[in-house]
């Protein structure tokens, strides 16, 4: 017993000795906050809402407090169309039975921002000020100034405001490229309207691609971000802004340890263009790309899955003019390697319009270099209507699908070429279903063979080797992609 008591005393002494050492390694954020608090602002907006657009009364106990940004909360933080997340129910609505004296025809939104220059340039998120009739910026000294929207960019979720003021406190800008995973970072903002709230965490990852944001390589952190933090700064320990807080990923609507910030380097590229021309122009190749999976890498004879696989080339595009082909795998852009397809759009988007870029491409097992003149990304991509599915067709036993040659009407509706391709009418459990083929898909080619008609597909399927993966190029709802097919018998 005496020996055990001595051991416990010794362990307690060691823990007490180590405690100050561990505590000393944790960062002290007080100086950083004191230095930068004044340059962080609260942003509120008003938007006129038609009476017919106002929502029905909410159940008792579910009233939404004044100032909570419904658009911010429902779209950017709950996530629109993300897996496991409820869809955005519509435009922001004023709270029914709201505070006495509130205008029922106005919708209020709330966010954060930070001051870039002493003469009043302020950066925030596009979604914070979207469709706003008036934007009011509240400073730390409680002054409220009406801001002018210099410009706003939906694709990067960055907006630039201008205040009529002088000698304002400003932030110091850092480099998001120099940021390292595991580094401490701090956010200042107005979650739920609580001005100048401070939260901290670490960088969880860099270069994250989100489904609705192809041109932003997000910084992922575990900093607690909530509605109202949108547009606020993310600082490193040197007190430099390294990111603009934008959104979280959550299955519940609350913070779950996954928050995302726009790299400051990307944000400032957008700001420079908004200042000079009021809008943002991005580089464009005119291709639809996808990741190379392990199965597709096997079908293309690659040692490991990497690069951006070209699944579609748009008409009148730089890619078409440069001779890029469907099935090419872009391995590098201007000497920078591409590990996954999500790495390519930000590189292309940041390239100047008209500049010639060098692509390292893997084509049918051989590495080639292609020069391509960068075009300008169109404002909107064409929308394609979904096709109606016919009820019958020929059976392909090895794939366990029903298929047919598309009619002229179907070709027009699906925006298919005048010839070629096979329309899938039905899919039963089997190799095709396992590969991800769905009714309504159009198979355009098998490995390197472009399909002319159903008869050719039937012959190709008969000759496919057992146990070997082959690449199928399909068109689905206007987009094209490769699927990996493996026949078991």
Catalytic residues: 127, 157, 230
Q: Which of 131, 170, 176, 186 is nearest to 154 (CA)?
A: 131
Cα(374)–Cα(11) distance, rounded to whole angstroms?
65
Question: Cα angle at 286 between 267 and 482, to 5 degrees?
Answer: 105
* Under 8 Å between Cβ of 389 and 425: yes
* Under 8 Å between Cβ of 303 and 251: no
Q: How many residues appear in the chain?
A: 489
Q: Where are the alpha helices (DSSP H) in 26-140?
A: 30-36, 70-71, 126-129
Query: Where are the strands (E) in 222-351, listed by range?
Result: 233-235, 240-248, 259-263, 283-284, 287-291, 308-313, 329-333, 336-337
For residue 371, the cross-strand partners are 358
What six digits make up the tokens of 314? 């748009």
What six digits make up the tokens of 100? 């006495």
Cα(92)–Cα(108) distance, rounded to whole angstroms?
8
Say how many CA atoms lie within 13 Å of 349 toward its Cβ.
20
What six digits make up the tokens of 43? 């942003």
Cα(186)–Cα(195) distance, rounded to whole angstroms?
15
* Under 8 Å between Cβ of 174 and 236: yes
Cα(435)–Cα(485) distance, rounded to whole angstroms?
5
How far lies 358's CA from each of 2, 214, 362, in Å? Answer: 76, 21, 13
Contacts of 167 (CB under 8 A, 6+ apart): 118
Cα(43)–Cα(427) distance, rounded to whole angstroms?
52
Give the burial class of 320: count Cβ atoms within 10 A of its Cβ; 0-12 exposed, 13-18 middle, 19 or more buried: middle
Query: What's the helix, strand, coil split of the chain in %, to 5?
Result: 20, 35, 45
């Amino acid at each position: 017993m005496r020996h055990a008591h001595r051991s416990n005393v010794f362990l307690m002494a060691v823990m007490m000795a180590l405690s100050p050492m561990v505590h000393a390694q944790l960062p002290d954020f007080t100086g950083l906050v004191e230095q930068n608090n004044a340059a962080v602002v609260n942003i509120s907006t008003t938007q006129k809402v038609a009476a017919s657009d106002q929502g029905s009364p909410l159940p008792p106990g579910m009233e939404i407090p004044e100032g909570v940004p419904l658009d911010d909360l429902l779209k950017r933080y709950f996530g629109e169309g993300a897996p496991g997340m409820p869809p955005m129910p519509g435009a922001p609505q004023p709270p029914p039975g709201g505070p006495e004296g509130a205008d029922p025809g106005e919708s209020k939104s709330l966010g954060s921002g930070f001051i870039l220059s002493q003469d009043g340039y302020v950066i925030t998120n596009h979604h914070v000020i979207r469709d706003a009739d008036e934007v009011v910026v509240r400073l730390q000294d409680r002054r409220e100034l009406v801001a002018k929207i210099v410009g706003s960019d939906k694709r990067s979720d960055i907006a630039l405001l201008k205040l009529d003021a002088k000698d304002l406190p400003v932030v110091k800008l850092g480099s998001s490229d120099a940021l390292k995973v595991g580094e401490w970072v701090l956010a200042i903002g107005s979650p739920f309207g609580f001005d100048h709230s401070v939260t901290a965490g670490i960088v969880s990852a860099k270069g994250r691609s989100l489904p609705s944001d192809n041109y932003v390589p997000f910084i992922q952190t575990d900093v607690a971000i909530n509605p109202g933090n949108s547009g606020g700064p993310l600082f490193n320990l040197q007190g430099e802004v390294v990111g603009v807080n934008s959104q979280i990923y959550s299955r519940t609507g609350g913070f779950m340890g996954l928050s995302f910030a726009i790299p400051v380097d990307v944000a400032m590229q957008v700001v420079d263009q908004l200042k000079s021309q009021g809008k943002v122009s991005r580089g464009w190749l005119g291709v639809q790309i996808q990741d190379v999976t392990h199965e597709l890498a096997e079908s293309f004879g690659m040692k490991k899955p990497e690069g951006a696989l070209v699944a579609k080339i748009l008409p009148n595009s730089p890619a078409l003019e440069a001779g890029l082909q469907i099935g090419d795998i872009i391995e590098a852009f201007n000497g920078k390697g591409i590990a996954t397809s999500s790495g390519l759009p930000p590189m292309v988007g940041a390239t100047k319009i008209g500049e010639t870029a060098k692509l390292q491409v893997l084509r049918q097992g051989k590495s080639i270099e292609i020069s391509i003149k960068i075009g300008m990304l169109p404002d909107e991509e064409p929308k394609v209507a979904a096709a109606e599915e016919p009820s019958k067709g020929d059976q392909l036993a090895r794939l366990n699908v029903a298929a047919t040659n598309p009619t002229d009407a179907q070709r027009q509706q699906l925006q298919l070429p005048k010839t070629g391709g096979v329309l899938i009418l039905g899919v039963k459990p089997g190799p095709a279903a396992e590969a991800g083929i769905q009714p309504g898909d159009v198979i355009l080619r098998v490995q390197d063979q472009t399909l002319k008609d159903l008869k050719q597909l039937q012959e190709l399927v008969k000759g496919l080797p057992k146990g070997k993966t082959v690449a199928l190029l399909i068109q689905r709802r206007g987009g094209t992609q490769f699927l990996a097919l493996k026949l078991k018998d």
